[in-house]
Amino acid sequence: MYTEIILAGFGGQGVLLIGKLLAYAGMKDGLEVTWMPAYGPEMRGGTCNCTVVLSDRQVGSPISRNPHGAVVLNLQSIDKFESTIRPGGIMVVNTSLINRAPLRRDLIVVPVAANQIAQEAGSAKAANMVALGGFLGASRVVDLDLVKATLAETFAGRPKIVQLNHTCLDKGFAIGQAVAAMPPGR
């Protein structure tokens, strides 16, 4: 197993956090992992992304030119990364902030109204968790319970945040599962 994933959005959307959660959960699962952030000098509101590589063998490089999947949380991210994903790859699209359909037809697209779902669950700040859940549901690259456990450790002193984020992960996971269960060419 060898999987490269790009997670991308605005600074402040929690892109780097969900990348770390994915990487740490992979470590708990006994996988070799890399996590590499990339962001400019913009700070909050500027673009940022990270690459996570999960593998059952040693990882040669944290750089991915053609990832197996992507989580894109804003329009700039889909514009930048859609063309790089390998055919048959998974792309989670935050339809709350992305006002166009994906251009490619050779991807498994998981449309998730992440901001809206997170707001309904209690806080729009958890949109990143909805999107991560969508990716996990469609890909099964790491077990959802490992991600939840990692999140609970990360926010151990804040049980309300843990519960909200677990709820959002579950909601996204259900959407990703439903997409993965659809027949090809739907």
Q: Which range of residues forms the domain containing residue 19?
A: 2-181
Tens digits of per-residue pLDDT, 58-110?
877 777 788 999 999 999 999 999 999 999 999 999 999 999 999 999 999 99
Using a pLDDT cut of 90, give the percent of the chain over it: 78
How far is the first Cα of the chain from the last one, in angstroms, to the nearest whole number?
27
pLDDT of residue 102: 95
- Does 186 reside within a domain? no
Q: Is the pTM of this model over 0.85?
A: yes
Closest Cα to residue 110, out of 88, 90, 126? 90
The Cα 164–Cα 140 span in angstroms is 21
The domain that contains 16 carries what CATH number?
3.40.920.10
Sign (positive or negative) of CA dihedral 159, 165, 168, 170: negative
Residues 6 or more apart in contact with residue 103 via CB below 8 angstroms: 82
- Does 41 reside within a domain? yes
The number of folded domains in the chain is 1
- Does 169 reside within a domain? yes
- Does 83 reside within a domain? yes
